Amino acid sequence: MELLHINCLGKPLRLEGSMAGWQQLFWGDDLVSVIPASADYQGQRSHEFNLSMQRQQASTTPEGEVNVAPVAETISIRLDIDLQWQPFLLKFELLQNGQVIEQGQRDTKDIERQVPVKPIEAKRQFSLIGLASLGLKLFKSAKVIKVVLAGASVAAYSWLFSFQFALALIACLVFHEYGHIRAMKYFGMKTKGIYLIPFMGGLALSDEKINTRWQDVVISIMGPTFGLFMSIAALFAYWFTGNIFFAGLATFNALLNLFNLLPILPLDGGHILKSISFSMNSVLGLVACIAGAAIGVFISYSLGLALLGFLLLIGSAEIVFEWKSRHQSHLLPLDRYGQLFSAVWYLLTVGALVGIIWYFAGSGDDMLGLPLKILQS
């Protein structure tokens, strides 16, 4: 990931690194210093390199004529850094021939706001993959596709339930995706809107990349959180009106958002749990993650939620298998407070959604008990 980007003698000086310990320093497009990966992944480091510059030097001849000739000059550059990963803090000093010319520090907020340098991609020849990529770009940019997909979703859910319920369910899906959109805009990301996909929910798109695990957690969990708010609103509407329509809306919307929170990529829960577990830079952190997953599976099976427990087991195993590659990620990890806060937020959201499903399952209505039966299947 990009740790630092400053100006040095008319060119960008860019420092990249990861928790694996490696660091690379670029001056413009040239790689000028490398620190290999090691177990000692933070603390004080120094990058040094020399630059050969041409400058014009004037001299006067005995006849009084002024001659200007290029003179080679070697400039010594040193970048001293003091790096702390959790919570992230980078202090730096840039020295030219032993003199400090720039100094400062960067924290998590700076990493969130930065726009990483994108390498120039080589032109590719015609291929089916390139054609598919172009088609995907056209798919994302075509506004008419949004209308077509929304209409197809309404038709699909009307076929399953009723037209009125389909419209209400579409509203819940849009509200869920709006939660993602709001989180993206909070971090200053440009969004491309919401796409509804029949039988699969929705999709909130952005062309910009995230820089931190915290951004990944917030953007991912805000969709289910907004979905939870919608189910709670429908629950209150049911209490005040007694209309079974609102009860069905609350419980089926809760089921959709609960499935989104399963720790399986590319679902929201997969992004959340992966960001938490991959931010734990110790075997103890992995053990805690495995223990938490085991408790979740045990509770699910104890409550008779067989499907939920099975999917939790698969998702947790997927995260454990990929844990070794966590240091290669370009995303800034969560600090311990962020890990704890994210885990509590996730568990409370899951618990609230299960509670709504369980509450309506006890009403005696077969349709309202269907979501719980799905989880028990």
Mean pLDDT, the chain, integer:
77
Give one word for 238, left, alpha or beta, with left for phi > 0 and alpha for psi -120 to 50.
alpha
CA distance 51 to 281: 37
Supply 117's token pair: 């340098």
Checking if the pLDDT of 277 tops 70, the result is: yes
309 vs 323 pLDDT, higher one: 309
Distance, CA of 253 to chain centre: 24
Summarize the confidence of residues 236-264 as an average pLDDT. 87
Of 29-38, 49-58, 89-98, least confident by mean pLDDT is 49-58
Summarize the confidence of residues 13-23 as an average pLDDT. 81
- Whole-model pTM over 0.85: no
Supply 283's token pair: 């075997």
Predicted local confidence at residue 377, as pLDDT: 66
Please spell the DSSP secondary structure of 227-267, one letter per residue. HHHHHHHHHHHHHHH--HHHHHHHHHHHHHHHHHTSS-TTS
Checking if the pLDDT of 337 tops 50, the result is: yes
Predicted local confidence at residue 120, as pLDDT: 39
Using pLDDT thresholds of 50, 70 and 90, give the confidence band for residue 352: very high
CA distance 39 to 22: 10
Cis, bond preceding 87 (omega within 30 deg of 0): yes
Using pLDDT thresholds of 50, 70 and 90, give the confidence band for residue 221: very high
Supply 222's token pair: 């805000």
- 119-164 per-position pLDDT tens digit: 434 444 445 555 555 555 555 554 555 555 556 656 656 666 667 7
